[in-house]
Amino acid sequence: MEAFVLTRKSGVEPTKILEILNGSFFQSPIYENYGKIIIGEKFSPPGFTLRLGLKDVRLVLAAAEEAAVPMPVASVIRDHFVSGVARGWGDLEWAALAKVVAEDAGL
């Protein structure tokens, strides 16, 4: 998600990063589909909401804490989910995390 925001903020067409990521690095229908959702900012109707993503990442972090497994990246992701829900986007597609990152970047 950050890659789309970085390219956009740098003046590069976001479709170029999708071509690079999906064409050579991580060719996958998942990257293709979510990349298109992010680039087109088509976060509604949701397939899976930010609110549900927040619930799931909280469950993962609780299990990690119980097992004494640090998960710093998951904590950052949780913070992005919380930020999106706080902005009133809890019922949008979870890919709207890109919208959170973009807004944080001043876009």
Q: What is the pLDDT of residues 82-94, one digit of tens each?
A: 999 999 999 999 9
Task: Determine the Cα–Cα distance for residues 13 and 90; give it in Å rounded to an integer.
Answer: 27
Q: What is the pLDDT of residues 12-61, one digit of tens each?
A: 888 888 888 777 767 778 888 888 999 999 999 999 999 999 999 999 99
pTM of the model: 0.82
Provide the domain count of the chain: 1
What domain range is 23 assigned to? 2-104
49 forms bridges with which residues in the sheet? 93
Tokens of 77: 């992701």
Spatial neighbors of 9 by CB under 8 A, at least 6 apart, are: 105, 106, 107
- CATH of residue 96: 1.10.1040.10
